[in-house]
Amino acid sequence: MLARVWSAAVLGIDAIPVGVEVDVAGGLPAIVVVGLPDAGVQEARERVKAAIRNAGFNVPMRRIVVNLTPADLRKEGPSFDLPISLGILAASGQVATEVLGDYLFLGELSLDGTLRPVAGVLAIAVAAQAQGMSGLVVPMANVAEAAVVQGLRIYGCQTLTEVAAFLNDPASRSPTTALSEPVQRPSFTLDLKDVKGQYQARRALEIAAAGGHNLIFVGPPGSGKTMLARRLPTILPPLSFSEALEVTKIHSVAGLLKERGRLIQEPPFRSPHHSASGPALVGGGSYPRPGEISLAHRGVLFLDELTEFKRDVLEFLRQPLEDGQVTISRTRQSVVFPAQFTLVASTNPCACGYYGDPVQPCTCSPRQREHYWAKLSGPLLDRIDLQVSVSRLTPEEITRQTSGEDSQTVRQRVLAARQRSQQRFAHDPGLHCNAQMQSRHLRQWCRLDDSSTTLLEGAIAKLGLSARATDRILKVARTIADLAASEPLQAPHVAEAIQYRTIDRLQ
């Protein structure tokens, strides 16, 4: 007998429907799985046999061939355990087949027939809805995650026995129709009011949040670089529903939603260690998985001690910073992961950390400082819009009890600036913030008067700025104007943007 069950495989952050065909025929007892399965899928043979027996069903003592279609797509992971077991039960006449083709099934099986959660359920739920399936049957632990997709009936089950009972009598089980409870905005323990002094750095942080600009803090140890960077999420606007769904899909594919299973509504903040490898940063593996830059999509990627990262690892960032996505190519497939993130970095000015410090003398030679900064290439620095020098706090600033503006106050200004830019981008839905503007947008929305043009030309000549760096000055100036509620760009906006390009190279 032949049975067909629908499941899905994740490719990148999207899912592709997979047909699980099971044929039970004469021959020596065996289960053969074909269709480019990985080791995890091959091992499903033993899990499925034990789960079927322990759930009270019979494993046919015949030759069982399982074909996963399309045959040229690699299949991985334990999520095919449930559809394979259902195919065997259906092909051997132990469960009804009338509604088998109307639903999509996935789940890992324990040896006792219990369903365990799997990764990528949100992406699969989106694919099931697009395919027009009647519903999705998943482990109970994945129900909240799948229920984020509106208009799709979700059935959560604890065991293989429950799934079989549902197939034999679909009316006996009601679907989960309510949306999962969204994650509320967290009560941040960090706040900008905790930062003493550093007014220019705080201003740069506000500009970065309002325009999505990349930012680097350069200063001696203990000046507050990391403290500032970790407070950026407290002033960022929340994600829209479409952005939240996209971010949640990425984390689902990475297997980071097994416990939460809820829609992520806040921009993610990722801070990998400087020992991270290139694949850990951009993604990779035999079956490509998203790296840190994709997990930071629509959020912040914070690289503390930037010059401690290997140069070749940092060079991986150049293409994603420019294109907003990363392409991972393998022999059989090529996967594209979104990577529209705001890069925030911090570093010391030299190896000893005290170059330019008025109190602690620097012990590095010019050659040592040159070697220290050689890890950061010119093209990479060109892509960092805001380059801010963070100085040591004065004794008066350290002992001062008064605090600066809190995050909520700054966040309101950021939201207002974002709303102005969104109104400007109303007819260009591909743009989300000023940092994503292209040359044609700059010509339209960043026109300069004579005084601003003269100011910018002088900066280009004096600082040796490239065309890319010049474009980024205009983007920052546009954000500064939005924060000031000014539609035309004026000379003060351009002048402030230029001052953030004075650390293109420290030696």
Of residues 82 and 370, the one with the higher pLDDT is 82
pLDDT tens track for 18-29: 999 999 998 889
- Coil, strand or helix at 97: coil
Q: What is the pLDDT of residue 403?
A: 73
Spatial separation of the C-alpha atoms in residues 20 and 70, rounded to whole Å = 9
Residue 178 has pLDDT above 50, yes or no: no
Inter-residue contact 137 to 103 (CB < 8 Å): yes
Residue 154 has pLDDT above 90, yes or no: yes
Q: What is the pLDDT of residue 433?
A: 92
What share of the chain in percent tops pLDDT 90? 64
Q: What is the pLDDT of residue 112?
A: 95
Residue 212 has pLDDT above 80, yes or no: yes
Spatial separation of the C-alpha atoms in residues 139 and 134, rounded to whole Å = 17
Spatial separation of the C-alpha atoms in residues 369 and 363, rounded to whole Å = 10
Nearest 5°: the CA angle 228, 229, 231 is 70
Q: What is the pLDDT of residue 258?
A: 52
Residue carrying the six token digits 């503006």: 405
Of residues 413 and 194, the one with the higher pLDDT is 413
Q: Report whether the peptide linkage leading into residue 70 is cis, meaning its omega lies within 30 degrees of zero.
A: yes
pLDDT tens track for 82-91: 999 999 999 9
Residue 158 has pLDDT above 90, yes or no: yes
Beta-strand relationship, 63-69 and 30-34: parallel
| Element spanning 94, H or E | none
Beta-strand relationship, 14-25 and 2-11: antiparallel
Contacts 24+ apart (CB under 8 A), 368-371: 369/506, 369/507, 370/507
pLDDT tens track for 60-86: 999 999 999 999 888 988 999 999 999
Inter-residue contact 92 to 25 (CB < 8 Å): no
Q: What is the pLDDT of residue 265?
A: 83
The domain limits of the chain are 2-172, 192-429
Q: What is the pLDDT of residue 506?
A: 46
Mean pLDDT of the chain: 89
What are the residues whose beta carbons fall under 8 Å from the beta carbon of 185, sequence distance 6 or more? 238, 265, 266
Residue 181 has pLDDT above 90, yes or no: no
Assigned fold of 192-429: Rossmann fold (3.40.50)
Q: What is the pLDDT of residue 300?
A: 95
What are the residues whose beta carbons fall under 8 Å from the beta carbon of 68, sequence distance 6 or more? 18, 19, 20, 21, 33, 34, 35, 36, 37, 41, 75, 80
DSSP state of 309: S
What share of the chain in percent tops pLDDT 70? 95
Highest mean pLDDT among 52-66, 182-196, 242-256: 52-66
Using 50, 70 and 90 to split pLDDT, how confident is the model at 465? Answer: confident
- The stretch 33-62 carries a mean pLDDT of 93
CB 224: neighbour CB atoms within 10 A?
A: 22
What are the residues whose beta carbons fall under 8 Å from the beta carbon of 447, sequence distance 6 or more? 488, 489
What are the residues whose beta carbons fall under 8 Å from the beta carbon of 351, sequence distance 6 or more? 364, 368, 369, 372
Q: Write down the H helix ranges in 186-266.
A: 199-211, 225-229, 241-253
Residue 180 has pLDDT above 50, yes or no: no
For residue 323, the one-letter residue type is D
Spatial separation of the C-alpha atoms in residues 79 and 119, rounded to whole Å = 8
Q: What is the pLDDT of residue 358?
A: 86
pLDDT tens track for 394-442: 787 777 777 778 999 999 999 999 999 999 998 887 788 999 999 999 9
Using 50, 70 and 90 to split pLDDT, how confident is the model at 207? Answer: very high
Spatial separation of the C-alpha atoms in residues 151 and 134, rounded to whole Å = 10
DSSP state of 17: E
- Coil, strand or helix at 15: strand
pLDDT tens track for 306-338: 999 999 999 999 989 988 999 888 767 788 899
Spatial separation of the C-alpha atoms in residues 134 and 439, rounded to whole Å = 46
Residue 205 has pLDDT above 70, yes or no: yes
Q: What is the pLDDT of residue 188?
A: 65
Q: What is the pLDDT of residue 88?
A: 96
- The stretch 281-290 carries a mean pLDDT of 85
Q: What is the pLDDT of residue 454?
A: 94
Spatial separation of the C-alpha atoms in residues 380 and 158, rounded to whole Å = 50
Q: What are phi and psi of 218, to 5 degrees?
A: -125, 125
Q: Which class would CATH give 2-172? A: alpha beta
Q: Where are the beta strands (DSSP E) in 253-355?
A: 269-270, 283-284, 289-290, 300-303, 325-329, 334-338, 342-347
- The stretch 122-146 carries a mean pLDDT of 91
Q: Write down the H helix ranges in 43-185.
A: 44-54, 81-91, 121-131, 143-146, 160-168
- The stretch 129-144 carries a mean pLDDT of 91
- The stretch 99-118 carries a mean pLDDT of 95
DSSP state of 194: G
Spatial separation of the C-alpha atoms in residues 276 and 251, rounded to whole Å = 19
Using 50, 70 and 90 to split pLDDT, how confident is the model at 250? Answer: very high
Q: What is the pLDDT of residue 310?
A: 93
What is the secondary structure of 24-66 as a DSSP string? EESSSSEEEEESSB-HHHHTHHHHHHHHHHHTT----SSEEEE
